[in-house]
Amino acid sequence: MSVFRIAAAQTGSVKGDIPANVATHAAMAEQAGRLGVTYLFFPELGLTGYEPELAAELAMMPDDTRLAPLRNAAQKHGMIIVAGAPLRADRPSLQGDGASSRADDLPNKPRIGSFIFRPDGSIGVYAKIHLHSTEEAHFSAGSEHVLEPCHGEQVGVTICADLSNPAHAATYKAMGATIYAASVLVSENGYAADAAILADRAKEHGLLVLMSNHNKPSGGWNSGGRTAIWTPDRQYHAAGAKEDALVMAERDGDGWKITVEVMAL
């Protein structure tokens, strides 16, 4: 069995340019594969940029042909890749835990999605459960937690405001999660508060907690970067604010070994 190595990617997005953002994600996945990463995840809505007013226009399904480079990278490197985009609401998601069985059960507004590309070619979906009030005009909320197994670990798939609701992490812990992985867009001004919450989640539930943040402005927000990992004993490791980077963790005995790699994309 391969060594489990999880990486939170820190990248920026070009507003509404799906091909350009897929290319950035695929380039990061290629470098992560060379480093032996087995679970890689990206910032919230990284495939489109965090652009709520464009979400309906940009919404897609995870089998969109433009996403083929990510499906291919997952299979090539034996890696789970989690990437964010508005999830189209006109038919059910593909093979995701908790996927709706009826297309007409889905509301009309897109959801804030994480597309989960697996080494076997299957695709899962997680939809953000807890929305910010400013998102409710443009998105509908998801309802199902998705626990993604990878090399003996159980990763709770999480998106931004989810982390602010204590029940969200508690539910994952009850489901058997060992890791809580949050794709976010957190601004410079909001970083300290969210970092404190994530540190508390790690300590309270005994989870390894990771956050993948944008390193460039998106949707009018000046992102704070500093993609990071918190260990259950409250160790904190982070990238810088503006660099492209991978923040990685792997098991080291009963604890975790954390490394930060600055990338050239």
Lowest mean per-residue pLDDT among 48-62, 89-103, 207-221: 89-103
Q: Please name the residues in contact with 72: beta carbons below 8 A apart, sequence gap of 6 or more.
A: none
State the Cα–Cα distance between residues 28 and 139, nearest whole angstrom. 28
Q: What is the pLDDT of residue 93?
A: 41
Please check the confidence at residue 143 and state whether its pLDDT lies above 90.
yes
Q: What is the pLDDT of residue 1?
A: 54
Please check the confidence at residue 201 and state whether its pLDDT lies above 90.
yes
| Summary mean pLDDT of the chain | 93
Q: What percent of the chain has pLDDT over 90?
A: 88
Confidence grade of residue 221 (pLDDT, cut at 50, 70, 90): very high
Q: What is the pLDDT of residue 234?
A: 85
Confidence grade of residue 254 (pLDDT, cut at 50, 70, 90): confident
State the Cα–Cα distance between residues 237 and 142, nearest whole angstrom. 30
For range 208-227, the mean pLDDT: 97
For range 231-248, the mean pLDDT: 96
Are the CB atoms for 73 and 33 separated by under 8 Å?
yes
Are the CB atoms for 7 and 32 separated by under 8 Å?
yes
Confidence grade of residue 252 (pLDDT, cut at 50, 70, 90): confident
Please check the confidence at residue 257 and state whether its pLDDT lies above 90.
yes
For range 161-188, the mean pLDDT: 98
For range 91-96, the mean pLDDT: 44
Confidence grade of residue 30 (pLDDT, cut at 50, 70, 90): very high
